[in-house]
């Protein structure tokens, strides 16, 4: 009997707490606020241009913070894009100027070794290994070496790379460097 009385009291408490009504704003309150906001927006749009600037009246959290005076235009010519990374601009400039260095241009020609040549075809190719152990296929015109070298000729066991050196006086000299396949001793 006592358990029934406790159960009835709990049920009565739940029913009484449900009759209090909504605790937050209702849809009617939301509709009234929205209508008031629309009315304020219409009044601001009708305001004369001689009124104080919008930036002086607008706080940082109001919806009008992006409002601008009439007649403003943005000229993007000659100005850096604020949404573009500095790294992408640097990479783009290097690609345009041709200063983008490939993996074979990180080492001197003497540090690389020639492994194989395919030369009796329409387009001669050679297999070159860098000091890190990575192998690359090169053809005529491929850039190699730290001194702006280019592959000029590929023969049966030889690759010729033309490098340009600049001395301390600023004079440029070119040098042909031959890379040969190293044959093992004794056989």
pLDDT tens per residue, range 124-173: 999 999 999 999 999 999 999 888 899 999 988 899 999 988 877 778 88
Query: In the chain, what are the domain boundaries?
Result: 104-180
pTM higher than the cut 0.85: no
Q: Is the pLDDT of residue 52 over 60?
A: no
Q: What average pLDDT does the structure give for the chain?
A: 78
Q: Whole-angstrom Cα distance, residue 45 to residue 159?
A: 75
Tell the residue number behind the tokens 């010729």, with chain if given: 160
Topology annotation, domain 104-180: SH3 type barrels. (2.30.30)
**CB under 8 Å to 70, separation ≥6 — which residues?**
49
CB crowding 56-93: b at 16 or more within 10 Å, else e:
eeeeeeeeeeeeeeeeeeeeeeeeeeeeeeeeeeeeee
70/112: higher pLDDT: 112
pLDDT for the residue 122: 85
pLDDT tens-digit series, residues 66-88? 555 567 777 777 777 777 776 66
Q: Are 118 and 125 in contact (CB under 8 A)?
A: yes
Q: Whole-angstrom Cα distance, residue 28 to residue 39?
A: 17
Predicted confidence band of residue 94 (pLDDT cuts 50, 70, 90): low
């Amino acid at each position: 009997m006592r358990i029934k009385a406790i159960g009835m009291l709990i049920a009565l408490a739940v029913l009484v707490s449900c009759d209090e009504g909504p605790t937050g704003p209702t849809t009617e309150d939301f509709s009234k606020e929205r209508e008031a906001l629309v009315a304020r927006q219409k009044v601001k749009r009708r305001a004369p241009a001689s009124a104080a600037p919008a930036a002086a009246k607008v706080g940082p959290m109001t919806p009008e913070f992006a409002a601008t005076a009439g007649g403003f235009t943005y000229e993007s010519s000659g100005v850096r894009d604020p949404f573009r990374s500095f790294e992408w601009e640097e990479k783009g400039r290097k690609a345009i100027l041709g200063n983008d260095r490939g993996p074979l241009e990180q080492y001197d020609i003497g540090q690389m070794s020639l492994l194989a040549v395919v030369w009796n075809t329409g387009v001669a190719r050679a297999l070159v290994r860098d000091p890190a152990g990575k192998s690359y296929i090169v053809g005529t015109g491929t850039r190699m070496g730290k001194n702006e070298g280019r592959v000029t000729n590929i023969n049966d066991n030889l690759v010729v790379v033309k490098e340009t050196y600049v001395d301390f006086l600023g004079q440029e000299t070119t040098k042909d460097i031959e890379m040969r396949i190293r044959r093992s001793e004794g056989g």
